[in-house]
């Protein structure tokens, strides 16, 4: 039996416990207890019925530089980071989207140079992007771009370069980030995390996209 | 007697032995430390240090909410009695103040346990927080001394300070009690909010550093939100207590008293509930402004389903509160049920529609397969209802409907006699209709403007409109009813048993909501003890999925309910003994079952 099924069984047990009390016990206090049990059991059953997602901490990065042979490898890693640790896709869209909170990044790699992109990620307020594509006054976005190299996102230089490589690749541009620009980080691998075993019922956000070379999140 | 004592003694020894056996493995506490550095974390077998801290912290917070909410509730009742002359409010205030001594002790007990556990299990974090906040730790101790002294004077001086200037002094003591209690709440709020929204701590004196950390972006939104929530908790717990006592009431007098108490508790709960969404909105806005990442983790990330569950709990709370008002109209004011049946039906339908919109998911984390099935990241049909513009609109409408339920209850059984009554009613109707239309127009318009315009102007305008409605219709109704003729007197003690259960349900919903949002606030920090400053490197640096977390919330809610029941039982033990000595058990009229609302004939008191 899966862990989720076990938990559902526990919640169902709480509901049945409450129903039995209401059916067979006359004492008002216990009847109220039974009623509360039913309410709490139903709450648990409902919480167990929605998609179960846990939030795991990111593992420290481990980079196997030797296995990165081409700029396309760097861009592939950049794509992984873009949709996971970098959390770029939470605000930015690739292609027009009315619900995006920040500018559309489609074609951005063709529009901006590598150096400008790097500065935009590490010092976003250096130049303010004005979006005139909608006509009239520039469109204002509600979100302020955070510094990507600082906490809480805290991408390393290698990761930022990989994201830039991805942005260039998806804009149809030649990737200007070379393998020789990558640096070996100083941190070692992280301690094992109990969470991985403890939340086996959970599907981890972004985990499917985890790369083999960089243990991103 | 000695046999009983022996038997209890044996039971206690057995219990202690069982507890001892359970604790034995804990001797093997695990301690995590760096090779040369001090211990950063310790663990406990089976339950785990994080889960134990979670449970104790949640219970402490719930108890704290209770002991801060009850004095506000009691003081308000005392003022009503003092100004209005209705002594039953004074009696009610005293009845609840009596709980405070044992409730404070229990809260302090859990606070002490929490502190020791934090020092034992999270020494690195506690060292860091102590280094920043130690001046406010000292202030906190001082506040406890003041609060305790004031509580003793307030409670033990109740009977001695009933007349003239002494009563004024007693009211002032009640004010002081709440004044210190609010500071007791906001000082530790600073420690908790600093963990979520830390600010840069510059160099300076200890007090300057502590003050800088205290004045963090989410401190005041949390202070206001918790203050209102405590009033709501205090009101609904009073209601639940009255509901349970009402169900068990054996005399007509008891039924009347606890029916009335349930009404007062529900009223104060609803009174706070109307303001709570505004405070919650402000808090979320500040979180987004502080760190968009955190806001998205809450509303659009792995916690997004939690907000759907939250919407459902709030919806049940609104429905429960309205249902109780509607039961009141039907059973306490004979003859009103036919008059108000249709409006009640429309209100119910409107509330359910609003709830359906509020519960519509939007930015959910979906797998690629799920997204493909939906044809995009958002559901093509429901996505349009799941956005904040729609949710803000329906939450405002639900507040308006609940307010109108109350006004309806207030006006039931009364006939207007003022010559301007017709005009006043037309004005009130127009205000309500125009306000509802304006709220809906702003909600629809919100789809077509940038989010920042909607957040800064449209949503705040919706809130302002609802507040305007409440602030105009309340005094107008009060003026109207001042000269109104009572056609049907309010009859207490007639409510059916389901009214008692509705009151219990409301209290459980509030407690569950507090447990749920505690988990949300803590999880929004993801793998940080102090967001972006001190990373959680323990084996528990993860947030569990909602399902498994819900079982801990359920345990905390259930255990808290038992604790409150125990506190009520202890506090009223003396009254029962007095009651048995002083009264003769009365038979119920017509030999009906000793269940409240068991069906006494109309017209009997």
Other CB atoms within 10 A of residue B568 CB: 21
Looking at the predicted structure, is the pLDDT value of residue B138 above 80?
A: yes
B594 or A94, which is more confident:
A94
Return the pLDDT at A178.
Answer: 87
Which residues on A lie below 8 Å from B308 (Cβ)?
Answer: 50
Q: What pLDDT, in 10s, does the model give residues B372-421?
A: 666 665 666 666 777 778 888 998 999 999 999 999 988 888 888 888 88
B581 touches chain A (CB under 8 A): no
Looking at the predicted structure, is the pLDDT value of residue B593 above 90?
A: no
Quick one: closest CA in B to A101, which residue?
Answer: B451
The region, left, alpha or beta by phi > 0 then psi within -120 to 50, assigned to residue B375 is left
Return the pLDDT at B252.
Answer: 93
Please state, in angstroms and as integers, the Cα–Cα distance from residue B232 to each residue in B270, B310, B397, following that order: 7, 16, 20
Looking at the predicted structure, is the pLDDT value of residue B143 above 60?
A: yes
Assign residue A93 the CATH number of its domain. 1.10.760.10
Containing structural domain, residue A11: 3-49
Task: Report the C-alpha gap between B517 and B525 in whole angstroms.
Answer: 13
Return the pLDDT at B605.
Answer: 29
A43 and A73 in a single domain? The answer is no
B275 or A32, which is more confident:
A32
Longest Cα–Cα distance in chain B: 86
Looking at the predicted structure, is the pLDDT value of residue B501 above 50?
A: yes
| Residue B588 banded pLDDT, cuts 50, 70, 90 | very low
For the ranges A141-145, B355-359, B469-473, the lowest mean pLDDT is seen at A141-145
A103 and A202 in a single domain? The answer is yes
**Which residues numbered 111-150 in B keep a CB inside 8 Å of some CB on A?**
none
| Residue B576 banded pLDDT, cuts 50, 70, 90 | low
Quick one: closest CA in B to A47, which residue?
Answer: B547
Return the pLDDT at B487.
Answer: 84
A72 and A103 in a single domain? The answer is yes
Q: What pLDDT, in 10s, does the model give residues B26-85?
A: 444 566 655 557 888 999 998 999 999 999 999 999 999 999 998 998 999 999 999 888
A82 and A174 in a single domain? The answer is yes
A94 and A30 in a single domain? The answer is no
Q: Where are the beta strands (DSSP E) in B449-499?
A: 485-486
In-domain check, residue A104? yes
A79 and A29 in a single domain? The answer is no
Strand B485-486 to B30-33 pairing: unpaired
**Which residues numbered 177-196 in B keep a CB inside 8 Å of some CB on A?**
none
A43 and A80 in a single domain? The answer is no
Exposure pattern of B457-471 as b/e (b: 16+ CB <10 Å)? ebbbebbebbeebbe
Looking at the predicted structure, is the pLDDT value of residue B231 above 60?
A: yes
In-domain check, residue A174? yes
Distance, CA of B234 to chain centre = 7
A98 touches chain B (CB under 8 A): no
| Residue B503 banded pLDDT, cuts 50, 70, 90 | very high
A25 touches chain B (CB under 8 A): no
A37 and A93 in a single domain? The answer is no
Looking at the predicted structure, is the pLDDT value of residue B9 above 50?
A: no
Looking at the predicted structure, is the pLDDT value of residue B471 above 50?
A: yes
Q: What pLDDT, in 10s, does the model give residues B419-459?
A: 888 999 999 999 999 999 999 999 999 888 877 778 778 88
Our count of domains for chain A comes to 2
Return the pLDDT at B5.
Answer: 39
Alpha-carbon torsion angle B305, B310, B316, B317, nearest 10? 180
Residue in B378, B501, B545 closest to A54 by CB: B545
B375 touches chain A (CB under 8 A): no
* pTM for the model: 0.77
Q: Taking a C-beta distance cutoff of 8 angstroms, is the pair A52, B547 a contact?
A: yes
Task: Quickly list DSSP for B445-463.
Answer: HGGGS-HHHIIIIIHHHHH
Return the pLDDT at A150.
Answer: 80
Residue in B292, B543, B557 closest to A55 by CB: B543
In-domain check, residue A15? yes
A9 touches chain B (CB under 8 A): no
**Which residues numbered 66-85 in A keep a CB inside 8 Å of some CB on B?**
none
A113 and A17 in a single domain? The answer is no
Return the pLDDT at B36.
Answer: 59
Which residues on A lie below 8 Å from B291 (Cβ)?
Answer: 146, 152
Q: What is this model's ipTM?
A: 0.84
User: What percent of chain B clears pLDDT 90, i.e. is strictly above it?
Assistant: 52
- Give the range with max mean pLDDT: A197-211, B340-354, B575-589: B340-354
In-domain check, residue A214? no
Average pLDDT, chain B: 84
- Can you list the residues of chain A whose pLDDT is less than 50? 187-217
Do A101 and B533 lie within an 8 Å CB cutoff? no
Do B532 and A36 lie within an 8 Å CB cutoff? no
In-domain check, residue A217? no
Query: In B122-251, which ranges are continuous DSSP H helix?
Result: 123-156, 164-196, 206-214, 219-248
A189 and A120 in a single domain? The answer is yes
Q: What pLDDT, in 10s, does the model give residues B299-329?
A: 777 787 888 899 899 999 999 999 999 999 9
């Amino acid at each position: 039996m899966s862990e989720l099924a076990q938990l559902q069984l526990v919640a169902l047990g709480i509901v049945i416990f409450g129903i039995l009390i209401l059916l067979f016990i006359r004492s008002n206090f216990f009847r109220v207890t039974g009623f509360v049990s039913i309410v709490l059991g139903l709450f648990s059953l409902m919480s167990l019925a929605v998609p179960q997602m846990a939030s795991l901490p990111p593992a420290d990065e481990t980079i196997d530089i030797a296995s990165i042979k081409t700029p396309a490898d760097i861009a592939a890693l950049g794509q992984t980071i873009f949709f996971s640790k970098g959390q770029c896709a939470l605000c930015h869209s690739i292609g027009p989207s009315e619900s995006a909170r920040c500018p559309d990044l489609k074609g951005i790699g063709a529009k901006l140079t590598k150096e400008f992109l790097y500065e935009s990620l590490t010092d976003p307020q250096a130049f303010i992007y004005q979006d005139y594509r909608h006509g009239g006054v520039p469109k204002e976005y509600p979100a302020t771009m955070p510094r990507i190299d600082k906490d809480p996102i805290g991408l390393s230089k290698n990761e930022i370069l990989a994201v830039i490589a991805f942005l260039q690749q998806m804009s149809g541009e030649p990737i200007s980030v070379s393998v020789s620009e990558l640096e070996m980080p100083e941190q070692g691998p992280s301690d094992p995390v109990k969470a991985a075993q403890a939340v086996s019922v959970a599907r981890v956000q972004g985990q499917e996209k985890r790369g083999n070379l960089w243990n991103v999140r | 007697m000695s046999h009983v004592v022996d038997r209890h003694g044996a039971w206690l020894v057995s219990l202690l032995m069982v507890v001892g056996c359970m604790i034995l493995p804990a001797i093997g506490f695990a301690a995590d430390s760096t090779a040369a550095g001090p211990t950063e974390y310790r663990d406990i077998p089976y339950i785990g240090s994080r889960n134990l801290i979670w449970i104790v912290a949640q219970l402490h917070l719930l108890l704290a909410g209770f002991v801060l909410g009850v004095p506000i509730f009691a003081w308000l009742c005392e003022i009503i009695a003092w100004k209005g002359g209705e002594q039953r409010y004074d009696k009610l205030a005293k009845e609840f103040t009596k709980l405070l001594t044992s409730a404070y002790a229990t809260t302090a007990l859990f606070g002490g346990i929490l502190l020791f556990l934090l020092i034992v299990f999270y020494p690195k974090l506690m060292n860091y927080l102590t280094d920043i906040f130690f001046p406010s730790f000292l202030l906190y101790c001082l506040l406890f001394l003041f609060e305790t002294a004031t509580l003793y004077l307030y409670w033990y001086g109740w009977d001695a300070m009933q007349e003239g200037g002494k009563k004024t002094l007693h009211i002032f003591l009640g004010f002081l009690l709440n004044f210190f209690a609010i500071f007791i709440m906001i000082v530790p709020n600073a420690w908790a909010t600093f963990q979520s929204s830390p600010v840069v701590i510059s160099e300076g004196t200890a007090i300057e550093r502590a003050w800088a950390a205290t004045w963090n972006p989410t401190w005041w939104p949390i202070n206001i939100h918790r203050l209102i929530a405590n009033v709501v908790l205090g009101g609904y717990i009073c209601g639940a207590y009255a509901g349970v006592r009402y169900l068990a009431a054996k005399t007509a007098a008891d039924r009347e008293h606890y029916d009335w108490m349930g009404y007062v508790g529900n009223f104060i709960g609803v009174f706070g509930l109307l303001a709570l969404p505004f405070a919650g909105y402000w808090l979320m806005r500040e979180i987004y402004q502080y760190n968009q990442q955190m806001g998205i983790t809450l509303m659009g990330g792995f916690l997004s389903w939690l907000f759907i569950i939250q919407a459902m709990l709030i919806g049940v709370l609104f429905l429960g509160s309205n249902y109780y008002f509607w039961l009141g109209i039907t059973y306490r004011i004979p003859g009103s049920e036919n008059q108000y049946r249709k409006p009640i039906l429309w209100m119910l339908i409107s509330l359910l529609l609003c709830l359906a919109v509020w519960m519509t998911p939007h930015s959910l984390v979906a797998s690629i397969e799920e997204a493909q099935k939906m044809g995009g990241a958002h559901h093509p049909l429901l996505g349009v209802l799941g956005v904040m513009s729609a949710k803000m609109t329906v939450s405002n409408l639900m507040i308006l409907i609940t307010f109108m339920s109350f006004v309806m209850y207030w006006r039931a059984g009364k006939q207007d006699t003022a010559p301007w009554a017709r005009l006043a009613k037309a004005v009130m109707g127009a205000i309500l209709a125009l306000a509802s239309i304006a709220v809906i127009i702003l909600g629809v318009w919100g789809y077509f403007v940038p989010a920042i315009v909607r957040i800064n102007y449209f949503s705040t305008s919706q809130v302002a409109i609802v507040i305007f409605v409440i602030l105009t219709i309340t005094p107008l109704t009060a003026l109207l009813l001042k000269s109104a003729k009572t056609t049907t007197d309010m009859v207490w003690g007639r409510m059916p048993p389901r009214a008692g259960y509705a009151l219990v349900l409301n209290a459980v919903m509030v407690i569950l909501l507090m447990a749920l949002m505690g988990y949300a606030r803590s999880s929004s920090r993801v793998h940080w003890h102090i967001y972006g400053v001190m990373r959680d490197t323990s084996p528990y640096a993860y947030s569990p999925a909602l399902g498994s977390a819900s079982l801990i919330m359920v345990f905390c809610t259930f255990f808290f309910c038992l604790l409150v029941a125990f506190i009520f039982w202890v506090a009223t033990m003396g009254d029962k003994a007095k009651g048995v000595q002083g009264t003769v058990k009365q038979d119920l009229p017509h030999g009906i079952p000793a269940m409240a609302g068991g069906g006494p004939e109309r017209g009997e008191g």
